[in-house]
Amino acid sequence: MQPLPKWADATLVPLLSILIAFAISGVVILAIGKDPVEATKVMVTGALGSTYGWGYTLYYATSFTFTGLAVAVAFHAGLFNIGGEGQATLGGLGVALVLLHMAWPHWSLALLAAMAGAMAFGAAWALLPAWLQARRGSHIVITTIMFNFIAAALLNYILVNVLRPTGQMDPATARFAADLALPKLHEMLGWLGIPFARRTPANLGLVVALAAAVLVWGLLWHTRLGFQLRAFGKSEPAARYAGISPVRVTLYAMLISGALAGLMAVNTVMGEQQRLVMNAAGGAGFIGIAVALMGRSHPLGVVLAALLFGFLYQGGAEMAIWMQIPRELIVVIQALVILFTGALDNMVRMPVAWAFRLLRGGR
Amino acid sequence: MDLAVIGGGPAAAAPRPPAIELRGISKAFGSVQANRNISIRVERGTIHGIVGENGAGKSTLMSILYGFYRADAGEILIDGRPTPIPDSQAAIRAGIGMVFQHFKLVENFTVLENIVLGAEEGHLLAPSLAKARRALTALAHDHELQVDPDAVVEELSVGHQQRVEILKALYRKAEILILDEPTGVLTPAEADHLFRILANLRAEGKTIILITHKLREIMAATDRVSVMRRGEMVATRRTAETSPEELAELMVGRKVLLQVEKGPARPGPAVLEVENLRVRDTRGVERLKGVSFTVRAGEILGIAGVAGNGQSELLEVLGGFAAGQGRVRLNGVALDLTGRRSDGQTRRAAGIAHVPEDRQRLGLIMDFAAWENIAFGYHHDPAYQRNRLVMDNAAVLAATRGKLARFDVRPPDPWLAARNFSGGNQQKLVLAREIERDPELLLVGQPTRGVDIGAVEFIHRRLIALRDAGRAILLVSVELDEILGLADRIAVMFDGRIMGERDPAETDERELGLLMAGVVPGARNGAA
Amino acid sequence: MDVAAILSILEGTIRLSTPLLLACLAGLFSERAGVFDIGLEGKMLIAAFFSAAVAALAGSAWVGLAAGVAAALVLAVIHGLASITFRGNQLIAGVAINFLAAGLTVLVAENWFRLGGRTPSLSGEARFQGLTLPLTETLAGVPLLGPFWGTVISGHALLAYLAFLAVPATWWILYRTRFGLRLRAVGENPAAVDTAGISVVALRYAAVMICGLLCGLAGVYLATALSAGFVKDMSGGRGFIALAALIFAKWRPWSAMGATLLFGFLQSVATRFPRLDLGIVVVPAQFIDALPYLLTVVILAGFVGKAIPPRAGGTAYVKEHG
């Protein structure tokens, strides 16, 4: 069969999938007695109609970029890391420990340390599933799912019994020192003379995320490790023939993946919440799956897909407030995006390939 | 191989309609026309051979006859009646049975369960199994097809697994039996046994279609033979009235030079010395049972043998991606065989290049572009690095352009993914990567499998040129013709051992065939 | 610990094992046929919601059961479409199904009842009540056996007994019928099934639908027998524990019962003793919560026997030459 042109495969198919997912979401909105056109307007105005909305959209997009990159790197090595949620949770713990237990003279140093802590803890949480996959052949999908639950239980225990300040009721750590707060997006834009809404959570993490995307791109297509990782992901027997160690590649890929997922905590725990709370990852680890699938595991695609999901998240919140449509609609849309860009990919691709054959006027 | 006894056969003109008649069958996969307007008649009670090169469309045609694929156009007649065959169920009902090249058995089921699968009587298993057990005893008795009905299939030898496949077809009352390359995995003795069984079945009036690319088998076992080339049926002959030369010419469409031109070898010092090499597979079964040999500079050592007798394991251990025990020295320096301090990288660094048996599974990343595949395995090469961290993709691209030109790879597009090249061009891609490293030792497995004739000549010439440049070559091939044509010395492997070494000038296919079956002619008995 | 406490833990074990067992057998059918299913959780959840919602509206647990099973079957069809018809990634399809259920249940619950993502509480006919087994009266006087029969064995909902009866039924289907032979074959080598003239697609769909049915029953039990109504995310990871049990059981029916009873027991202990004081150490509840997952990782690591999944599991069947 004639392969689809590369550009169509990279853009047309995912766009069509998104359109189908949105169309079905529209039907769902209709079914619960609301107006999809109205809902879309509310979402667009709420998420993109003001710098306030943009602030939230970008904040969410930052988190999703990290988790999306995490899933994408693992995908390239042929590994399905469903454990982003647990790795991000542990990343939060790393950030909290670094910021609570050491004194930092300046936020910039604290940021570097927090990044190191987040990456180390996130990577550590990916290490055991990776090792089990590489050495014992334990299916990484199952082990990372299990590790999500174990991470939740672990964080629960630590917050309730270890890190909760005495006398505090809710299971959370103490607040970090106020002078360690990351610069907010409005401050950064202020330095450039661009006005931006003040009360939004968008922060320096955005820049870290974009830098991470560029680094991941360089890693995958311009380094030996990336070369080996992609080769291994395409064919393990061939990789062994070429002298690429399956164990090493699996470990590296998952460590990088876990570190990226963990980095998300810099945006949320350090950049916004300023303390570690229960369920700090808030599902962003799972959204990373949708983001990576939609972005075709390419860093640029991941950033764009993260932006779309950031828009959906902020727009969904607005929709919940103004139209009484529960926020869970976003979960439905997320499910549909995963379904159509991931599992039902062929359903979308087949008619497109057929249309291309027809256009070429040949068989 | 002594198959002559089976030849000839009752090809008397029958007034009855042919068992099978295909009319105007066409089938395309995307833009590839696998079968083009094919018509053929197969008479009842004959063995009808179908020959053709790899990719000529033989398997596709038989898969259509078995309902595995649906033809785009054309008609199938069984016993003179038009019989549509939309699926395998319909084929079985029409009395067609098929033995695929890769067996279609459930490996952890027993023989009985495999026989019964799809041919059960009623919803409960017990009566079906009991009936099959009785039938199996009768069939085994009538056709020399003994197998233990309660044996688990994965524990049977390949030859016995093939018997299970034949029994499956007979249990379903097949009148027409199709065998696709049935001898590829068999020793010559097992192949003889198979042909005896087929002759018996013919005597009972069954019709047999034998697909093969081995002209020897066609000449020895069939009554008629049809030749396919590039998706078309080019000729049908009575076997008695044709010759291997004519068939070969029909297969490739021009006169073929079956002989490789080469001068005498000028062997130098030993490059590779293998002593008592042993390998166990993941299940703990010993696949190499103490192999010793030497390859010298400027010579080609050919390893002959039926597939699956340890040749793959030998290449894997020498290539550095499987572990073994014993002693292997390259230019006098011992190689690590444990896999702990060595892998494909260290082997390449030591000067061992490797053209693997299965280029699509091992030699290439099919989704990678040609230039990425040129770097594959040599991605640590300093020439391909910009600095310690970053690879120099531009340098790889430039190197690729040169290699594509020198090895006449078509199309010479470094950005094209490996899977979009033809089989021969894929193989040239691998050769261009490995040969131009000017290795001390080249490991080559099945260099011309699935490669068109034109490319075969090119590949053979490059291998001879490398030999003449004073390099050592270890050639593994299941094609005796190729071994006899290329090798300067021949070692025959059977059951993980080397049965003997022969000078190609002083041996023939018959002697090699006996060695391949584990029989050492003349002297002491086989080590099987 | 007194006898009453032990009996109550055992009674809880049966109660909490039931949904795990149903879901585990569901996964067994699907995975034995070569279709991996990490969407057990989602199918349970959606069945839980629709059974509770429809039972609340119709006032009948049986109508609720039909609705719940139907909803799970719809998700099973989606899984089949993605992983069989369109040969997509089975794991990704499972992930999508879990999210679809998590979102849809709350969305529809809010739209129908406006109770913050839950259904009204079920009572009377709208709920499956416990059955009193025969002999309960007769045995009541017998020491040990009487209370054991009365508390642990008797008094469960019909679905619980069905779940345990499904174990021998599954074994019998798998190993003693034509369907079972073909089902196991298609999970090991679909090409063998195809060339024997049996439809791979039909077999796998059958398996996926049985999986949907059993997952549906698990969800119905959750919402209309174990609890009295639906609350957001009420499946609470049970689908994944069932998956863990399936691996633990090496895809075999009787072992599946053993594994789910073990995990049910752990849940029962955790429910009764939030902080388990073993004298030397106090085991935190979080540890017991995480124990099934930890055990699964240990099993997967192959330290306690190797778990070998069906060979063709996780891959769509594509016809090939030769």
The shortest C-alpha distance from C36 to chain A (Å) reads 11
Taking residues B101-118, report their average pLDDT.
93
Closest residue to C197, CB basis, from B87, B102, B125: B87
For residue A361, the chain B residues in CB contact (below 8 A) are: none
Give contacts of C 299-318 with B, CB under 8 A: 311
Taking the C-alpha atoms of residue C157 and residue C143, their distance in angstroms, rounded to an integer, is: 25
Q: Any CB–CB contact under 8 A between B388 and chain C?
A: no
Q: Which DSSP symbol is given to B407?
A: T
Taking the C-alpha atoms of residue C152 and residue C145, their distance in angstroms, rounded to an integer, is: 10
pLDDT tier at B2, thresholds 50, 70, 90: very low
Give Cα C101 distance to the centre of its chain: 15
Q: Under an 8 A CB cutoff, do C185 and B109 touch?
A: yes
Identify the domain containing residue A313 by its residue range.
Answer: 35-324
Which residue, among A215, A227, A230, would best test binding to B if mutated, counting the most B CBs under 10 Å from its CB?
A227
Q: Under an 8 A CB cutoff, do B89 and C198 touch?
A: yes
Q: How many domains does chain A have?
A: 1
Taking residues B376-405, report their average pLDDT.
93
> Which residue from A minimizes the CA distance to B392?
A222
pLDDT tier at B509, thresholds 50, 70, 90: confident
Q: In this model, does residue B252 exceed pLDDT 80? A: no
- Please report whether residue A96 resides in a domain: yes
Closest residue to B29, CB basis, from A1, A3, A240: A1
Residue B212: predicted pLDDT: 83
β-sheet bridge partners, residue A223: B390
Neighbours of chain C (3+ CB pairs under 8 A): A, B
Residue B254: predicted pLDDT: 59
Residue A168: predicted pLDDT: 83
Percentage of residues of chain B with pLDDT beyond 90: 58
Lowest average pLDDT, out of A176-180, B161-165, B331-335, C141-145, goes to C141-145
Closest residue to B364, CB basis, from A221, A238, A240: A238
> Which residue from A minimizes the CA distance to B358?
A238
Residue B12: predicted pLDDT: 46
Round the average pLDDT of chain A to a whole number and report it.
Answer: 91
Of A114-118, B310-314, C290-294, C298-302, the range with the highest mean pLDDT is A114-118
Give contacts of B 1-60 with C, CB under 8 A: 59-60
> Which residue from A minimizes the CA distance to B354?
A241
Q: In this model, does residue A256 exceed pLDDT 80? A: yes
- Please report whether residue A274 resides in a domain: yes
Burial class (CB in 10 A: 0-12, 13-18, 19+), A323: middle
Write the CATH number for A72.
1.10.3470
Taking residues A203-220, report their average pLDDT.
96
pLDDT tier at A45, thresholds 50, 70, 90: very high
DSSP secondary structure of A181-247: PPPBHHHHHHHTT----SS---BTHHHHHHHHHHHHHHHHHHBHHHHHHHHHHH-HHHHHHTT--HH
Q: Any CB–CB contact under 8 A between B499 and chain C?
A: no
Give Cα B150 distance to the centre of its chain: 30
Residue B29: predicted pLDDT: 78
Q: Which DSSP symbol is given to C303?
A: B
Q: Any CB–CB contact under 8 A between C114 and chain B?
A: no
Q: Under an 8 A CB cutoff, do B346 and A243 touch?
A: yes
Lowest average pLDDT, out of A61-70, A223-232, B213-222, B314-323, goes to B213-222
Residue A270: predicted pLDDT: 93
Q: Any CB–CB contact under 8 A between B358 and chain C?
A: no
The shortest C-alpha distance from B60 to chain C (Å) reads 7
End-to-end, the C-alpha distance of chain C in Å comes to 66
pLDDT tier at B256, thresholds 50, 70, 90: low
Q: Are A238 and A231 in contact (CB under 8 A)?
A: yes
Which residue, among B318, B352, B365, would best test binding to A if mutated, counting the most A CBs under 10 Å from its CB?
B365
Q: Any CB–CB contact under 8 A between B87 and chain C?
A: yes
CB atoms within 10 A of CB C73: 20
The shortest C-alpha distance from A136 to chain C (Å) reads 6
Locate tokens 């059993």: which residue? Answer: C214
pLDDT tier at B210, thresholds 50, 70, 90: very high
Closest residue to A143, CB basis, from C78, C95, C300: C300
Q: In this model, does residue B409 exceed pLDDT 80? A: yes
Q: Under an 8 A CB cutoff, do A32 and C111 touch?
A: yes
The shortest C-alpha distance from B372 to chain A (Å) reads 9
Report the relative pairing of strands B47-52 and B207-212 from DSSP bridges: parallel
Closest residue to B377, CB basis, from A218, A223, A243: A243
**Topology, domain B1-95+175-256:** Rossmann fold (3.40.50)
Taking residues B220-238, report their average pLDDT.
91
Q: Under an 8 A CB cutoff, do B376 and A363 touch?
A: no
- Please report whether residue A160 resides in a domain: yes
Taking residues A6-32, report their average pLDDT.
89
DSSP secondary structure of A113-150: HHHHHHHHHHHHHHHHHHHIIIII---HHHHHHHHHHH
Structure tokens at B374: 């040129």
Which residue, among C98, C100, C107, would best test binding to A if mutated, counting the most A CBs under 10 Å from its CB?
C107
The shortest C-alpha distance from B27 to chain C (Å) reads 13
Summarize pLDDT for C47-67 with one digit per residue, the tens: 999 999 999 999 999 999 999
Closest residue to B123, CB basis, from C177, C198, C311: C177
For residue A76, the chain B residues in CB contact (below 8 A) are: none
Taking the C-alpha atoms of residue B325 and residue B308, their distance in angstroms, rounded to an integer, is: 19
Which residue, among C31, C92, C275, C295, would best test binding to A if mutated, counting the most A CBs under 10 Å from its CB?
C92
Amino acid at the residue C225: A
Which residue, among A136, A222, A225, A241, would best test binding to B if mutated, counting the most B CBs under 10 Å from its CB?
A241
For residue C301, the chain A residues in CB contact (below 8 A) are: 132, 136, 138
Taking residues B222-242, report their average pLDDT.
91
Taking residues A116-138, report their average pLDDT.
93
Closest residue to C293, CB basis, from A149, A331, A345: A149
- Please report whether residue A5 resides in a domain: no
Residue B8: predicted pLDDT: 42
For residue B104, the chain C residues in CB contact (below 8 A) are: 189, 191-192, 194-196
Give contacts of B 211-240 with C, CB under 8 A: none
Residue A127: predicted pLDDT: 95
**Second-level CATH architecture of B270-516:** 3-Layer(aba) Sandwich (3.40)
Q: Under an 8 A CB cutoff, do B118 and C196 touch?
A: yes
Q: Any CB–CB contact under 8 A between C77 and chain B?
A: no
Q: Are B451 and B482 in contact (CB under 8 A)?
A: no
Q: Any CB–CB contact under 8 A between C141 and chain B?
A: no
DSSP secondary structure of B148-195: -TTSBGGGS-HHHHHHHHHHHHHHTT-SEEEEESTTTTS-HHHHHHHH
Q: In this model, does residue B189 exceed pLDDT 80? A: no
Structure tokens at B436: 């131009």
Taking the C-alpha atoms of residue B337 and residue B288, their distance in angstroms, rounded to an integer, is: 13
- Please report whether residue A352 resides in a domain: no
Q: In this model, does residue A362 exceed pLDDT 60? A: no
Q: pTM of the predicted model, to two decimals?
A: 0.88
Closest residue to C88, CB basis, from A141, A286, A346: A346
For residue A348, the chain C residues in CB contact (below 8 A) are: none
Q: Under an 8 A CB cutoff, do C302 and A136 touch?
A: yes
Summarize pLDDT for B416-435 with one digit per residue, the tens: 999 888 888 899 999 999 99
Q: Under an 8 A CB cutoff, do A346 and C111 touch?
A: no
Q: Under an 8 A CB cutoff, do C93 and A342 touch?
A: yes
Residue B475: predicted pLDDT: 96
Summarize pLDDT for A241-253 with one digit per residue, the tens: 999 999 999 999 9
Summarize pLDDT for C174-224 with one digit per residue, the tens: 999 999 999 999 999 999 999 998 999 999 999 999 999 999 999 999 999
Percentage of residues of chain C with pLDDT beyond 70: 97
> Of B305, B308, B310, B303, which is closest to residue B287 (Cα–Cα)?
B310
Summarize pLDDT for B21-74 with one digit per residue, the tens: 999 999 987 667 889 999 999 999 999 999 887 667 888 899 899 988 889 999
Round the average pLDDT of chain C to a whole number and report it.
Answer: 90
For residue C103, the chain A residues in CB contact (below 8 A) are: 328-335
The shortest C-alpha distance from B315 to chain C (Å) reads 25
Chain A residues at the B interface, defined by Cβ less than 8 Å, are: 1-3, 218, 221-224, 227-228, 230-231, 234-235, 237-238, 240-245, 362-363
Q: Under an 8 A CB cutoff, do B368 and A231 touch?
A: yes
Residue B371: predicted pLDDT: 96
Q: In this model, does residue C322 exceed pLDDT 50? A: no
Domain span(s) for CATH 3.40.50.300 in chain B? 1-95+175-256, 270-516
Residue C279: predicted pLDDT: 72
Q: Under an 8 A CB cutoff, do A335 and C100 touch?
A: yes
β-sheet bridge partners, residue B212: B51
